[in-house]
Structure 1
Amino acid sequence: MAKHGKKYTEAAKLIDSEALYESLEAIELVKKAATAKFDETVEVAVRLGVDPRKQDQAVRGVVVLPHGTGKTKRVLVFAKGEKAKEAEAAGADFVGDQDMINKIQQGWLDFDVCVATPDMMGEVGKLGRILGGKGLMPNPKAGTVTLDVAKAVQEIKAGKIEYRLDKAGQIHAPIGKVSFDAEKLNENFRALVEALVRAKPAAAKGVYLKNISVSSTMGPGVRVNPAAYR
């Protein structure tokens, strides 16, 4: 069993590990229990009643958090001509085509999100081993393969996040920073969970939202009552 430090142990005493809290109360406890010297990220973990091994029960999508994540993402756009100009005007950090592909092949990865126009995917696909392993490959389901590059960049900058079911049947996603107001964190939390409910696969049977917990980077988890979202 993992040993925790004194600060974590003291913080854990604030939380009833058997209780199911309403989301706002849970977030307020997470803020109280955050003791790190840096501005910790507030994260949500959701266990879903789906079989991650089955393609028809995959859960993946995006949601724009109303108050962002507290982190400014560096966006790379693969585009040419007018679409490249649109991406630059929308605030993309890096824009290019073959020049950017060459740069990445040489080891450059100083960005957080990739967006590409459909006509660029034939070339971008050659970066599959590099980008795919780091979860950076543009994908239509995530809205990062699109002709509307300006909208994609603006949404990412505004706080759009991608969620994806892992092999254990869980979703992990950030909803902001501990320094955020509790109400704003709660609105981000609700936006994420409601997006997950909308993304429920038709093939999923039984209880869909099994467990929900919220925590800070270094703090203990607080269980949230999923009944309000079922």
Structure 2
Amino acid sequence: MNKLNKRLKKIYNKFDKNMFYNFEDAINILKKNKISNFIESVDIAINLNTYKNKIKYNINNFLVLPYNIKKKKKIVVFAKGKDAITAKENGANFVGMENLLELIKKNKIKYDVVIATPDTIKLIKVLGPILGPKGLMPNYKLDTVTNNIKDSIKNIQNGKINYKNDKNGIIHTTIGKINFENYKLKKNLKYLILNIKKQNYNLNKNTFFKKITLSTTMGVGINIIISDLL
């Protein structure tokens, strides 16, 4: 057994992995048993009941958390005219049309986010096989196809996160860093849950949230009491 597994085993011995804890107790367990030398992310796994009448509904949205993790991202914007000028003025790293398309096709630039104005969609459709698998294809729902370039860039720079459920109905995302104060992490999580509830599609409110698990990048997963957060 390697050192990491031994450390994790010691942590598991300090709490009941089958028990459900309130948020404060759960986050304190994670903080007291930190095992890495870097500032870990605090991650959340939210297991949803996304079925109604045997039909599966997918949750897919974005938000900017109240206490966000600002991480500098390289932003590509497909735009022309005034929109292109706005993109450059607000910090986009790469702005253009056909020339930018070729740079992406030839893998000449590195980027984290791609934004496009609606009038450029036909142009960038050919990038589907490149951007799609990376989850970077511009999307109206995620505010990356927009006429409001300024706000879209601002949200990204302010730590916007995208979230969606996987095939098992689980949303995996990050709500902060382990060095955040507890109340900030809890407020971020409650804000995320509220945002998810708005995408409920009239699913059964009493059984929509099946299970919520809190963890850190290198730590263990702890089940938390759902009613403590709703």
Equivalent residue number for residue 148 of structure 1? 148
Q: Identify which range, 85-94 or 169-178, moves more after superposition.
A: 85-94
Deviation at 1:89, TM superposition (A): 1.9
Deviation at 1:229, TM superposition (A): 4.4
Letter in 2 for 1:103: L
Structure 1 gap segments, 5+ residues each: none
Equivalent residue number for residue 194 of structure 1? 194
Q: Identify which range, 58-67 or 185-194, moves more after superposition.
A: 185-194
The change in CA–CA distance for 1:224 and 1:73 in structure 2 (over 3 A counts) is farther
1:184 is paired with a residue whose SS is helix
Mapped contact 2:70–2:158 kept (Cα < 8 A)? no
Q: Distance in 2 between matches of 1:113 and 1:25?
A: 36
Task: Give the TM-score normalised by structure 2.
Answer: 0.90
Please say which structure displays the higher CA radius of gyration: 2
Q: Distance in 2 between matches of 1:190 and 1:205?
A: 16
Equivalent residue number for residue 58 of structure 2? 58
Equivalent residue number for residue 159 of structure 1? 159
Which 4+ residue blocks in structure 1 deviate beyond 4 angstroms?
Answer: 203-206
The change in CA–CA distance for 1:55 and 1:75 in structure 2 (over 3 A counts) is farther
Task: Give the TM-score normalised by structure 1.
Answer: 0.90
Q: Distance in 2 between matches of 1:92 and 1:32?
A: 40
Deviation at 1:34, TM superposition (A): 2.4
After superposition, residues 1-230 of structure 1 pair within 5 angstroms as: 5-51=5-51, 57-108=57-108, 110-203=110-203, 207-230=207-230
Q: Distance in 2 between matches of 1:10 and 1:108?
A: 47
Q: Identify which range, 203-212 or 182-191, moves more after superposition.
A: 203-212
Letter in 2 for 1:134: K
Structure 2 gap segments, 5+ residues each: none
Mapped contact 2:75–2:94 kept (Cα < 8 A)? yes
Letter in 2 for 1:80: K
Q: Distance in 1 between matches of 2:209 and 2:109?
A: 36
Mapped contact 1:165–1:171 kept (Cα < 8 A)? yes
The change in CA–CA distance for 1:80 and 1:72 in structure 2 (over 3 A counts) is same
Residue deviations 1:140-174 (CA, integer Å, cap 9, x gap)? 01111100010001011111111111111110011
Q: Distance in 2 between matches of 1:178 and 1:204?
A: 33
**What root-mean-square deviation, in Å, do the aligned CA atoms of Structure 1 and Structure 2 show?**
2.3
Mapped contact 1:11–1:34 kept (Cα < 8 A)? no
Deviation at 1:205, TM superposition (A): 7.1
Q: Distance in 2 between matches of 1:109 and 1:43?
A: 30
Residue deviations 1:82-103 (CA, integer Å, cap 9, x gap)? 1111122222232222222111
Residue deviations 1:58-94 (CA, integer Å, cap 9, x gap)? 1111111112125322222111111111122222232
Residue deviations 1:87-123 (CA, integer Å, cap 9, x gap)? 2222223222222211110024522111110011111
Paired residue total: 228
The change in CA–CA distance for 1:202 and 1:227 in structure 2 (over 3 A counts) is same
Mapped contact 2:48–2:209 kept (Cα < 8 A)? yes
Q: Percent identity?
A: 35
Mapped contact 1:70–1:177 kept (Cα < 8 A)? no
Residue deviations 1:178-217 (CA, integer Å, cap 9, x gap)? 2222222222111111111111122557600000011111
Q: Distance in 1 between matches of 2:55 and 2:146?
A: 24
